[in-house]
């Protein structure tokens, strides 16, 4: 274990960078801040890759163990409940280290070009470093509470970065929405943690897993025995923890923040809202997977929520016109795949879904980051997010167009690109466990291909008279080098990562998993995807009347989908109209008039009472004398009588 | 020598005290009220002296007390007259019924 | 270490403020006094730690005892445990920040600094006292200056607010006093003679039926100060009228006197009664937490918002005490400290913003982060601490309360904990709304020329942020310091029946 103690630098470097660039944000230039951030993240990426190499290399012949490299007590509550801050190395955390540092490095590099000329660039890079630090801390957590800590920290970095353009009201609203919705989900997570600590007697992952997966252990018996509303505490705990994960991963119905989060700078969307933070929910479920596996109800919930979110988001994505929102819905849809991949998985030999889900997480991070960075380059050029302002850009930006196409093929599941392999495994796992979910997944795959190619065509083909815009687009064609290099690197990763023998490394029990290739299933999936692409080509390769006609034909359904099934409106109704608009004014009125009124009433009663006796204080000395005399006499008489 | 019985003296002081009290209750003029208070104090003095003389002839506490009271009465008169003068300056009267500002 | 030093330094500072004639002198004396006091507080922490390490395990360290009034067995009796050390540290940080923030008070500035330090003196005396009579004496010292601070230097309906605050707090004090005399009498009956000595009272073994009528007096009396529902209404009025430093002291120190009293006097001296009444304490505190948070949502005035959020946050203190477990009580003390620092920072920032924009209504501001990045950052830090972000102190305190409370078997306790957890969502809503309307969004034209923080404001902010970050990122020492001093009557957690 001592051999790995250097990995502490993977956490320290981003933290230091955050402090340096944050405190000195007004002293150092944005470019310098960018260079510092990029360098430190580059070192972290190298360290992570080296760690991955040595970890997977050293244990290549047996079971991958879970190594607690650091485990320091941070805050102890009781003898056995405490928060430890530590770093654990196991297959999924090592994989996540690589994903996070790599994408973060690319995004840092890209941001130098993207934010060129921004005066608050230093602040931006410090937030990025804060995010990287938090995300890395999250993935190496040894302890549920440590995860919660970093979970909140990634939430706040996301809030800060979405609200980076803080003078724009829509960005402010989006950042608040993102924070509050995930905070609401985190409430569930927190209660889940509390229940887990109560029944499991520990917050440590290894202790929880070893106790709660052993049906004979006393913890397991209490956890499944005691219940509330007829549901065992263990189920409650897992469902609530999953609620936290669903909020962070934008699963239905807690997804509403993700499309709005696209108000942030595009590189941020690539890093946080596509590749890393939003998969934290998947990571959380994967981390506790052995426990989830003990509770089929919870696992089924994960599967269904994932599948429905995948379908739901894909349907909405077909109707949207904002390039980043389409990508956001596709992210939600792909995370849905990862979720139901976990939900249909078994342990050990049957852990294909788990493995596929992690694999998809890995490949998705690469191609989705590429899609966002490509979109960023386009937006940087066109200065608009609306696809109606784009079109025929393949001539202006050939390299970007090619890379975008590559990523689209990958997400659509066309071999030999990476998305095909991972999605294939998830779908196979789904078919073995739950054919309905498989059906949903397959249909969603078709939709995915359709809307991604719709997007691709609308941006890069679809000759539209965009020249008619009052301000003609600048001559500058491709994005600057700092933006192109990360995109090309990610494109390369998208090409090759599918051939990575993931099944040998990241599995549910740490042992390599044998996978068999099902040619028939692959053929079906590819066929569905190709159908989607073909449809998109018919409709969107060139401007035509078909899309509008179909939209009109669908009528109310189209509007409903276009308005995202009115989920936002429902939330607004509950949150704004009901709680903020009704409950809180009533409570305020109650406080000012009833509670405070009661206090003032006490005062008033005292006043009335003293008013009624104050006339005795007439100011006339002879009156007082008389009272005095009378009083003395009464006392005297009483003395004689008694 | 002891020819006057104590009851005679007590009767005098009793009469003096209630004359003072009557004056204090009935008179509205502050100077008169002050004089009435002096009468009451002197009634007390007489009592002190008498009891000292008739009950504990060997001791002097009663005499001491009456001397104290005389001193206090003098001081009190000074203070009271000062107050009355000030009241007169402020209200142009020393009738106690007209001076009732010190109330609620 | 002689604890009397902790009272002596402020007293000398007071004398110094009286001696110097001009404004500049008064504030310099006040600043020097509070820095020296902070130094002594840190020294106390250090010496306390050394003493404990060397194996001294008596309940209270550095005890000194002098006869004050022989017949009634009143002593000037001082001593500290971990809780008081922590509270003294809190007080000295808040006093320092308060003095710095008020650096440019124009009106009657000598008197202003005098009262600030005077309030601090009362608080220090209260925290070091082990004799109920001296404790009460200092307690009253700390209550009275607030009336003057609000009535003279306040704004808005200041006389009304000052009077209301003074009356309600005095009402609380009178209940406490009745409780203290009750204790004095009954220690005569059941113990070894009437006494005000805290340690002796704790050992006197007062029977439950006596406890159960003395406990509510004591607890409610102190809880009024800690803004327990429904005795919280002085807080919004008082805070919204008070000058900045007075708000800081009020929320940062005074409300903590209440919490400390509830723990040290009420719950510690009447453990059985506290257990009897814990249902009601929890009910009231959870009402305060949730209801306070919901009312806060409505507030448009950011100072009122923070005042109401104090009601909600102080509910956690009472909840932690009411749960009667070691962990929850530790959390309660942590929450007192965290909330003290956080809310002092928040009020300081609101004061700074108000001085510049001359408004406290959120919607009349906007985009202020652009013109005042430093103050804006402080606002964010205070807000994020308030909503319990990890890395800042609020998280540590709240989580300790939650974990401690959730371990108490029984559905009622768990439901209360879950409700308390739910309130942090509401907290996030109102904090972000406030930050959104004041700091973010488009900048108003008339605010385009505003300046950022001056040196004294930066220093005050830095002092408090330092506390928040140290406590939030390295909480173990503070938590251990406090946990070791939680009285034994607080049951160590009942572990599941395995």
> What is the spatial distance between Cα A125 and Cα A20, in angstroms, rounded to a whole number?
10
**What value, to the nearest 5°, has the Cα angle with vertex C304 and ends C302 and C309?**
95
**Is residue A132 over pLDDT 60?**
yes
Contacts of residue C278, Cβ cutoff 8 Å, sequence gap at least 6: C322, C323, C324
* Nearest Cβ partner for C294 among A73, A80, A587: A587
Q: Does B32 touch chain A (CB under 8 A)?
A: no
CB contact under 8 A, A603 and C406: no
> What is the spatial distance between Cα C331 and Cα C321, in angstroms, rounded to a whole number?
9
Q: Tell me the mean pLDDT in the region C369-393.
A: 89
* Nearest C-alpha in A relative to C432: A176
Instruction: State how far the alpha carbon of A258 is from the alpha carbons of A99, A262, A417, in Å.
Output: 20, 7, 26
Chains with 3 or more CB pairs under 8 A to chain B: A
Q: Tell me the mean pLDDT in the region A438-446.
A: 89
The predicted structure's pLDDT at residue A122: 83
Return the residue in C160, C362, C420, C429 with the most chain A beta carbons within 10 A, the one to mutate for interface testing.
C429
* Nearest C-alpha in A relative to C381: A156
> What is the spatial distance between Cα C311 and Cα C224, in angstroms, rounded to a whole number?
11
CB contact under 8 A, B25 and A622: yes
The predicted structure's pLDDT at residue A134: 92
**What value, to the nearest 5°, has the Cα angle with vertex A428 and ends A424 and A430?**
120
CB contact under 8 A, A222 and C498: yes
Phi, psi values for residue A318, rounded to 5°: -65, -20
CB contact under 8 A, C403 and A190: no
> Domain for residue B96, yes or no?
no
> Domain for residue B100, yes or no?
no
* Nearest C-alpha in C relative to A169: C441
Least confident of A458-467, A604-613, C164-173: A458-467
**Is residue C494 over pLDDT 60?**
no
> What is the spatial distance between Cα A105 and Cα A41, in angstroms, rounded to a whole number?
5
> Mean pLDDT, chain B, as a whole number?
89
Q: Please state, as a whole number, how many other Cβ atoms lie within 10 Å of the Cβ of residue A158.
A: 28
Residues 162-181 of A with CB under 8 A from C: 163, 166-167, 169, 171-173, 175-176, 179-180
User: Given the structure tokens 């980051």, which residue do they identify?
Assistant: A369
Q: pLDDT tens, A274-304?
A: 888 888 999 999 988 888 888 888 888 999 9
CB contact under 8 A, C440 and A222: no
User: Given the structure tokens 């969307």, which residue do they identify?
Assistant: A269
CA-nearest of A115, A139, A113 to A127 is: A115
| H or E element in which residue C79 lies | strand C74-80
Q: What residues pair up with A67 in beta bridges, in sequence order?
A: A89
Instruction: State how far the alpha carbon of A361 is from the alpha carbons of A63, A247, A316, A379, in Å.
Output: 22, 17, 22, 26
Residue C417 near residue A194, CB atoms below 8 Å: yes
Look at residue C148 and give its three-state secondary structure. helix
User: Given the structure tokens 């410090």, which residue do they identify?
Assistant: A126
> What is the spatial distance between Cα A329 and Cα A212, in angstroms, rounded to a whole number?
35
Alpha helices in B1-104 (DSSP H): 6-26, 30-55, 61-91
CA-nearest of C249, C244, C247, C222 to C236 is: C247
A629 contacts in B (CB within 8 Å)?
A: 25
* Nearest Cβ partner for A75 among C298, C389, C475: C475
B37 contacts in A (CB within 8 Å)?
A: none
Residue C101 near residue C351, CB atoms below 8 Å: yes
3-state helix, strand, coil in chain A (%, to 5): 75, 5, 20
Which domain CATH number covers B46?
Answer: 1.10.287.3510
* Nearest C-alpha in A relative to C483: A77
> What is the spatial distance between Cα C391 and Cα C5, in angstroms, rounded to a whole number?
34
CB contact under 8 A, B25 and A618: no
Residue of C132 and A509 predicted with greater confidence: C132
Q: Tell me the mean pLDDT in the region A495-504.
A: 80
A228 contacts in C (CB within 8 Å)?
A: 411
A622 contacts in B (CB within 8 Å)?
A: 25, 28, 96-97
Minimal CA separation from C128 to chain A, in Å: 27
CB contact under 8 A, A78 and C369: no
Q: Please state, as a whole number, how many other Cβ atoms lie within 10 Å of the Cβ of residue A544.
A: 12
> What is the spatial distance between Cα A499 and Cα C193, in angstroms, rounded to a whole number?
86
Question: Which long-range contacts link C279-283 to residues 24+ away (Cβ below 8 Å)?
Answer: C279/C412, C281/C219, C281/C318, C281/C319, C281/C321, C281/C322, C282/C319, C282/C322, C282/C323, C282/C412, C282/C413, C282/C416, C283/C416
Q: pLDDT tens, B6-62?
A: 889 999 999 999 999 999 888 889 999 999 999 999 999 999 999 998 888 888 888
**What value, to the nearest 5°, has the Cα angle with vertex A391 and ends A390 and A395?**
120
A626 contacts in B (CB within 8 Å)?
A: 25
Residue A27 near residue A1, CB atoms below 8 Å: no
* Nearest C-alpha in B relative to A611: B104
CB contact under 8 A, A163 and C493: no
For the record, the structure tokens of C108 come out as 């009657």
Residue C339 near residue C394, CB atoms below 8 Å: yes
The predicted structure's pLDDT at residue C497: 39
| Residue-number span of the structural domain to which B69 is assigned | 6-91
* Nearest Cβ partner for A618 among B24, B25, B100: B100
DSSP state for residue A195 in the 8-state scheme? H
Minimal CA separation from B25 to chain A, in Å: 7
**Is residue A228 over pLDDT 80?**
no
Transcribe A84-146 into DSSP letters.
EEEEEE-HHHHHHHHHHHHHHHHHHHHHHHHTTT-TTHHHHHHHHHHHHHHHHHHHT-SBHHH
CA quadruple A345, A350, A356, A361: dihedral, nearest 10: 50
The predicted structure's pLDDT at residue A464: 62
**What value, to the nearest 5°, has the Cα angle with vertex C389 and ends C43 and A185?**
155
For the record, the structure tokens of A593 come out as 């008039």
For the record, the structure tokens of B17 come out as 């005290």
Q: pLDDT tens, A242-277?
A: 999 999 988 888 888 888 888 888 888 888 888 888
What's the first-to-final CA gap in chain A, in angstroms? Answer: 94
CA-nearest of C481, C292, C498, C467 to C381 is: C467
Q: What residues pair up with C65 in beta bridges, in sequence order?
A: C77
B103 contacts in A (CB within 8 Å)?
A: 617-619
Q: pLDDT tens, C296-340?
A: 988 888 888 999 999 999 999 999 998 888 888 999 999 999 999
Domain count, chain B: 1
Least confident of A383-392, C56-65, C273-282: A383-392
Kindly state the percentage of chain A with pLDDT values over 70.
97
Q: Does B100 touch chain A (CB under 8 A)?
A: yes
Q: Do chains C and B touch (3 or more CB pairs under 8 A)?
A: no
CB contact under 8 A, C406 and A584: no
The sign of the CA dihedral C200, C202, C206, C212 is positive
CA quadruple C412, C417, C420, C421: dihedral, nearest 10: -140
Q: pLDDT tens, A517-549?
A: 778 888 888 888 888 888 888 877 777 777 777
C326 contacts in A (CB within 8 Å)?
A: 78
* Nearest C-alpha in C relative to A587: C295
B102 contacts in A (CB within 8 Å)?
A: 619
Residues 173-232 of A with CB under 8 A from C: 173, 175-176, 179-180, 183-184, 187, 190-191, 194-195, 197-199, 201, 218-219, 222, 228
Contacts of residue A32, Cβ cutoff 8 Å, sequence gap at least 6: none
Residue of A636 and C156 predicted with greater confidence: A636
Q: Does A74 touch chain C (CB under 8 A)?
A: yes
> What is the spatial distance between Cα A181 and Cα C199, in angstroms, rounded to a whole number?
50
Contacts of residue A576, Cβ cutoff 8 Å, sequence gap at least 6: none
Q: Does A558 touch chain C (CB under 8 A)?
A: no
For the record, the structure tokens of A561 come out as 């989908």
pLDDT band for A61, please (50, 70, 90 cuts): low
> Domain for residue B99, yes or no?
no
The predicted structure's pLDDT at residue A537: 82
The predicted structure's pLDDT at residue A465: 54
- Counted across chains A and C, CB pairs separated by less than 8 A come out at 149
* Interface predicted TM-score (ipTM): 0.91
Residue of C240 and A223 predicted with greater confidence: C240
**Is residue C498 over pLDDT 50?**
no
The predicted structure's pLDDT at residue C496: 41
> What is the spatial distance between Cα A491 and Cα A482, in angstroms, rounded to a whole number?
15
Residue C456 near residue C104, CB atoms below 8 Å: yes
* Nearest Cβ partner for C440 among A166, A588, A595: A166
For the record, the structure tokens of A215 come out as 């049906």
Exposed, middle or buried by CB within 10 Å (0-12, 13-18, 19+), for A294? buried
> Domain for residue B73, yes or no?
yes
Residues 56-95 of B with CB under 8 A from A: none
Q: Tell me the mean pLDDT in the region A508-521.
A: 78
Look at residue A204 and give its three-state secondary structure. strand
Quick check: pTM over 0.90? no
DSSP state for residue B98 in the 8-state scheme? G
pLDDT band for A468, please (50, 70, 90 cuts): very low
Least confident of A146-160, C214-228, C439-453: C439-453
- Counted across chains A and B, CB pairs separated by less than 8 A come out at 24
> What is the spatial distance between Cα A541 and Cα A544, in angstroms, rounded to a whole number?
9
Q: Tell me the mean pLDDT in the region A580-593.
A: 85
CB contact under 8 A, A75 and C406: no
Q: Do chains A and B touch (3 or more CB pairs under 8 A)?
A: yes
> Mean pLDDT, chain C, as a whole number?
88
């Amino acid at each position: 274990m001592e051999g790995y103690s250097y990995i502490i630098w993977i956490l320290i470097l981003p933290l230091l960078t955050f402090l340096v660039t944050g405190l000195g944000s007004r002293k150092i230039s944005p470019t310098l801040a960018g260079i510092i951030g990029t360098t430190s993240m580059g070192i972290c990426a190298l360290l992570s890759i080296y760690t991955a190499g040595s970890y997977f290399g050293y244990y290549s012949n047996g079971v991958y163990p879970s190594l607690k490299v650091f485990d320091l007590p941070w805050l102890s509550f009781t003898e056995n409940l405490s928060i430890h801050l530590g770093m654990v190395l196991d297959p999924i955390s090592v994989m996540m280290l690589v994903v996070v540092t790599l994408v973060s490095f690319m995004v840092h590099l890209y941001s130098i070009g993207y934010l060129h000329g921004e005066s608050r660039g230093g602040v931006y890079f410090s937030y990025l470093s804060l995010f990287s630090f938090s995300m890395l801390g999250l993935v190496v957590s040894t302890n549920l509470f440590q995860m919660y800590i970093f979970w909140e920290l990634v939430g706040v970095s996301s809030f800060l970065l979405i609200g980076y353009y803080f003078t724009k009201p829509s960005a402010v609203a989006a950042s608040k929405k993102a924070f509050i919705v995930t905070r609401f989900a985190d409430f569930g997570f927190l209660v889940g943690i509390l229940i887990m600590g109560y029944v499991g007697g520990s917050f440590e992952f290894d202790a929880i897993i070893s106790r709660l997966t052993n049906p004979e252990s006393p913890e397991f018996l209490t956890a499944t025995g005691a219940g509330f509303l007829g549901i065992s505490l263990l189920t409650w705990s897992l469902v609530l923890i999953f609620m936290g994960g669903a909020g962070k991963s934008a699963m239905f119905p807690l997804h509403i923040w993700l499309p709005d989060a696209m108000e942030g700078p595009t590189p941020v969307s690539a890093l946080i809202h596509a590749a890393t933070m939003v998969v934290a929910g998947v990571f959380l479920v994967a981390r506790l997977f052995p426990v989830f596996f003990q509770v089929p109800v919870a696992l089924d919930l994960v599967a269904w929520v994932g599948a429905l979110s995948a379908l739901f988001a894909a349907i909405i994505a077909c109707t949207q016109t904002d390039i980043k929102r389409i990508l956001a819905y596709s992210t939600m849809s792909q995370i849905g795949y990862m979720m139901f991949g976990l939900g249909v998985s078994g342990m050990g030999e049957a852990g294909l879904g788990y493995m596929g889900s992690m694999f998809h997480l890995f490949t998705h991070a690469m191609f989705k980051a590429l899609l966002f960075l490509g979109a960023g380059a386009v937006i940087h050029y066109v200065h608009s997010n609306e696809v109606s302002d784009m079109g025929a850009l393949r001539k202006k930006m050939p390299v970007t167009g090619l890379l975008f196409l590559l990523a689209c093929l990958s997400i659509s599941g066309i071999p030999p690109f990476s998305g095909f392999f991972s999605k294939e495994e998830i779908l196979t796992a789904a078919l073995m466990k739950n054919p309905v979910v498989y059906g949903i997944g397959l249909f969603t795959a078709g939709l995915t291909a359709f809307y991604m190619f719709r997007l691709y065509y609308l941006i890069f083909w679809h000759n539209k008279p965009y020249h008619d815009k009052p301000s003609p687009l600048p001559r500058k064609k491709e994005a600057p080098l700092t933006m192109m290099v990360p995109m090309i690197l990610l494109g390369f990763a998208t090409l090759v990562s599918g051939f990575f023998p993931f099944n040998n490394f990241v599995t549910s029990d740490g042992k390599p998993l044998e996978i068999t290739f099902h040619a028939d299933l692959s053929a079906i999936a590819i066929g569905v995807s190709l159908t989607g692409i073909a449809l998109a080509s018919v409709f969107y390769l060139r401007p035509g009347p078909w899309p509008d006609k179909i939209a009109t034909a669908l009528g109310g359904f189209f509007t409903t989908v276009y308005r995202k099934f009115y989920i936002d409106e429902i939330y607004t109704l509950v949150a704004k109209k009901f709680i903020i608009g009704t409950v809180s004014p009533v409570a305020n009125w109650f406080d000012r008039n009833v509670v405070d009124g009661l206090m003032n009433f006490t005062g008033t009663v005292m006043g009335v009472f003293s008013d009624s006796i104050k006339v005795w204080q007439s100011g006339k000395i002879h009156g007082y004398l008389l009272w005095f005399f009378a009083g003395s006499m009464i006392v005297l008489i009483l003395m004689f009588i008694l | 020598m002891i020819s006057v019985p104590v009851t005679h003296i007590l009767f005098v002081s009793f009469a003096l005290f209630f004359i003072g009290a009557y004056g204090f209750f009935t008179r509205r003029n502050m100077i008169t009220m002050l004089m009435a208070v002096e009468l009451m104090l002197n009634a007390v003095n007489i009592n002190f002296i008498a009891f000292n003389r008739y009950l504990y002839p060997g001791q002097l506490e009663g005499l001491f007390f009456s001397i104290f009271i005389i001193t206090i009465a003098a001081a009190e008169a000074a203070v009271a007259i000062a107050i009355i003068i000030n009241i007169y300056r402020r209200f142009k009267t020393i009738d106690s019924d007209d001076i009732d500002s010190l109330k609620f | 270490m002689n604890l009397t030093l902790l009272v002596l330094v402020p007293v000398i500072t007071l004398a110094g403020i009286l001696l110097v004639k001009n404004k500049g002198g008064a504030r310099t004396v006040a600043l020097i006094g509070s820095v020296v006091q902070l130094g002594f507080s840190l020294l106390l922490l250090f010496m306390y730690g050394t003493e404990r390490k060397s194996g001294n395990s008596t309940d209270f360290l550095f005890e000194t005892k002098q006869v004050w009034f022989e017949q009634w067995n009143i002593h000037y009796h001082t001593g500290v445990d971990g809780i008081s050390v922590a509270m003294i540290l809190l007080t000295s940080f808040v006093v320092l920040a308060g003095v710095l923030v008020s650096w440019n008070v124009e009106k009657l500035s000598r008197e202003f600094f005098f009262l600030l330090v005077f309030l601090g003196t009362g608080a220090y005396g209260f925290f070091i006292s082990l004799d109920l009579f001296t404790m009460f004496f200092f307690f009253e010292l700390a209550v009275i200056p607030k009336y003057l601070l609000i009535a003279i230097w306040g704004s808005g309906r200041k006389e009304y607010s000052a009077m209301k605050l003074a009356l309600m707090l005095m009402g609380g004090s009178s209940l406490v006093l009745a409780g203290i005399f009750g204790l004095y009498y009954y220690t005569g009956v059941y113990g070894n003679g009437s006494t005000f000595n805290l340690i002796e009272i704790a050992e006197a073994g007062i029977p439950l039926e006596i406890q159960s009528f003395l406990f509510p007096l004591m607890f409610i009396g102190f809880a009024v100060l800690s803004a327990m529902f429904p005795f919280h209404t002085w807080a919004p009025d008082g805070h919204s009228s008070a000058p900045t430093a007075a708000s800081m002291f009020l929320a940062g120190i005074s409300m903590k006197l209440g919490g400390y009293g509830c723990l040290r006097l009420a719950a510690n001296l009447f453990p059985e009664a506290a257990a009897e009444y814990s249902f009601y304490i929890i009910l009231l505190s959870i009402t305060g937490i949730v209801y306070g948070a919901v009312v806060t949502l409505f507030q448009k005035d950011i100072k009122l918002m923070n005042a109401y959020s104090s009601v909600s946050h102080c509910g956690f203190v009472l909840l932690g005490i009411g749960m009667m477990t070691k962990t929850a009580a530790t959390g309660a003390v942590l929450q007192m400290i965290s909330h003290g620092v956080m809310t002092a920072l928040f009020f300081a920032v609101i004061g700074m913003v108000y001085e510049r924009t001359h408004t406290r209504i959120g919607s009349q501001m906007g985009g202020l982060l652009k013109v005042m990045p430093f103050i804006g950052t402080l606002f964010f830090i205070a807000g994020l601490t308030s909503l319990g972000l990890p890395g800042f102190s609020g998280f540590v305190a709240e989580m300790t309360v939650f974990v401690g409370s959730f371990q108490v078997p029984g559905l009622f306790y768990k439901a209360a904990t879950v409700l308390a957890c739910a309130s942090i969502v509401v907290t996030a809503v109102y904090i972000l709304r406030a930050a959104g309307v004041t700091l973010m969004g488009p900048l108003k034209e008339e605010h385009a020329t505003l300046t950022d923080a001056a040196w004294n404001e930066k220093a005050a902010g830095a002092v408090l942020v330092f506390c928040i970050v140290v406590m939030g990122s390295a909480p173990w020492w503070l938590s251990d310091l406090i946990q070791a001093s939680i009285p034994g009557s607080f049951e160590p957690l009942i572990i599941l029946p395995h």
